[in-house]
A = this chain, B = another copy of it.
């Protein structure tokens, strides 16, 4: 018995535990959507319905290590996109067509009825599954009833594979449209389109978009009008890395183009990634008619990520809501929604600092909003930015999270220990960073354009250190402490 106890104790320290309650809050987020306990991945069905914002998410409530054959829909609700509270689990896998999982989908307002459209998942054997599309409805926004004639789409297009999931539904001129992620027969990613008058009877329209080079499967498709163009977001698997493109194990990217509903022809430009950080994938957007905004949530995770909070009985979280636009170059931009100002408690820092090598501001990186500006014309260093210490993993110990402008290479760089991400930043006169730090997550919005979203782990509270390499830089820093929405 003694050796067995030692064996278990050994694993308890080093290995992800499978607790079904939060046993340690050290990495819990203060203002992000995260599971009450257990596991969360893809955000599902964000919607403004009945004067409230609803967000669902892939959820395994019984353990922080998901059982992939038993996925639920978690559910939170908010009056203002900032203050969230937990509702009961919306969908549980309990039918013959979804017995191994209620996988991702979307939500629509069907003439006052909150309607979820989701993928039923049934594992047939080790290599074959039955993925089908279903609906569930609610009058009160809390309790959902699965449609008695589910699945509403029983099987995938004949020229596709059984990877057929993540429906996204919208209405255009009294017709419902649905995009679904799929593979063609060569195992390359594509998006297929369906339409319906009643959300229950669907006709196959055809392939909306596909690629022979951009990955093997496109998950979580999203198709919408934005600033006069059409945008298709997909989340491709197995996209080979090329220099600093497609660095994450799974990519989240988009095409911008023009679409003709009559012919189902989507003419679009090249693929670009939505966010360049370490932990961002499986996106879902929604249009809020009450404020005329298209917004996006992403999963702040990655499939090969570390998730030390698994030891604490939970894992996974979603980004803050971000407003989407196209800039003058036709690139997608994300900015934090204005409502997030509701989180501010106190301004805790406001200084211009002449940084030479290193300057610890002492600003605690806990629940913090930061504005960091670096005028490039006053930059007399090869690199300038900020850094803090975080964890690599149990065996490998500690290292630096660094975000900086590399003057020689004209790049914005975000490095977590050794995992470097970067973006071209040519010809700008200023680096303007708007940053949301939340205990174990950081979202960096660069000059209102590109973003870097990452998780990080450090048992103590790190502070913001400014740094330069080979010279000096003037840096303006403003900081606000932010509320914890989960404590009442």
In the bound complex, what is the Cα–Cα distance between A397 and B68 (angstroms)?
Answer: 14
In the bound complex, what is the Cα–Cα distance between A42 and B153 (angstroms)?
Answer: 58
Query: At the interface with chain B, which of A122-130, A195-203, A228-236, A388-396?
Result: A388-396
Verify B304–A396 contact, CB threshold 8 A: yes
Verify A396–B303 contact, CB threshold 8 A: yes
Q: Which residue of B lies closest to A396 (CB)?
A: B304
Verify B241–A420 contact, CB threshold 8 A: yes
Verify A304–B11 contact, CB threshold 8 A: no
- With A399-B238, A418-B248, A418-B249 known to touch, is A409 a contact of B243 (CB < 8 Å)? yes
A261, CB-defined interface residue at 8 Å: no
Verify B418–A241 contact, CB threshold 8 A: yes
Verify B395–A303 contact, CB threshold 8 A: yes
* Interfacial residues of chain A within 1-49, with CB under 8 A of chain B in the complex: 7, 10-11, 15, 18
* Interfacial residues of chain A within 243-264, with CB under 8 A of chain B in the complex: 243, 246-249
Q: Which residue of B lies closest to A402 (CB)?
A: B240
A326, CB-defined interface residue at 8 Å: no
Chain B positions within 8 Å of A249 at CB level: 392, 396, 399, 417-418
Verify B399–A243 contact, CB threshold 8 A: no
A415, CB-defined interface residue at 8 Å: yes
A183 to chain B, nearest CB (A): 15
In the bound complex, what is the Cα–Cα distance between A400 and B238 (angstroms)?
Answer: 9
Q: Which residue of B lies closest to A238 (CB)?
A: B399
Verify A304–B400 contact, CB threshold 8 A: no
Interface centre among A246, A399, A400 (most CB of B within 10 A): A399
Chain B positions within 8 Å of A393 at CB level: 304
Chain B positions within 8 Å of A303 at CB level: 395-397
* Interfacial residues of chain A within 372-427, with CB under 8 A of chain B in the complex: 392-393, 395-400, 402, 406, 409, 415, 417-418, 420
A217 to chain B, nearest CB (A): 11
Chain B positions within 8 Å of A417 at CB level: 241, 249
In the bound complex, what is the Cα–Cα distance between A294 and B395 (angstroms)?
Answer: 33
In the bound complex, what is the Cα–Cα distance between A379 and B402 (angstroms)?
Answer: 39
In the bound complex, what is the Cα–Cα distance between A227 and B110 (angstroms)?
Answer: 80
In the bound complex, what is the Cα–Cα distance between A450 and B336 (angstroms)?
Answer: 46
In the bound complex, what is the Cα–Cα distance between A248 and B7 (angstroms)?
Answer: 31
Verify B400–A240 contact, CB threshold 8 A: yes
Partner of A304, one of B15, B246, B395: B395
A398 to chain B, nearest CB (A): 8
Pull 12 A–B residue pairs with CB atoms less than 8 Å apart, ordered by A. A7-B18, A11-B15, A15-B15, A240-B400, A240-B402, A240-B415, A246-B418, A247-B418, A303-B396, A304-B392, A304-B393, A304-B396
Which 9 residue pairs are nearest across A and B when measured between Cβ atoms? A304-B396, A303-B396, A241-B418, A241-B420, A15-B15, A249-B396, A241-B415, A249-B418, A247-B418
Q: Apart from A243-B409, A249-B396, A303-B395, what 15 extra A-B contacts exist at CB < 8 Å?
A: A7-B18, A11-B11, A238-B399, A241-B415, A241-B417, A241-B418, A241-B420, A243-B406, A243-B420, A246-B418, A247-B418, A303-B396, A304-B392, A304-B395, A304-B396
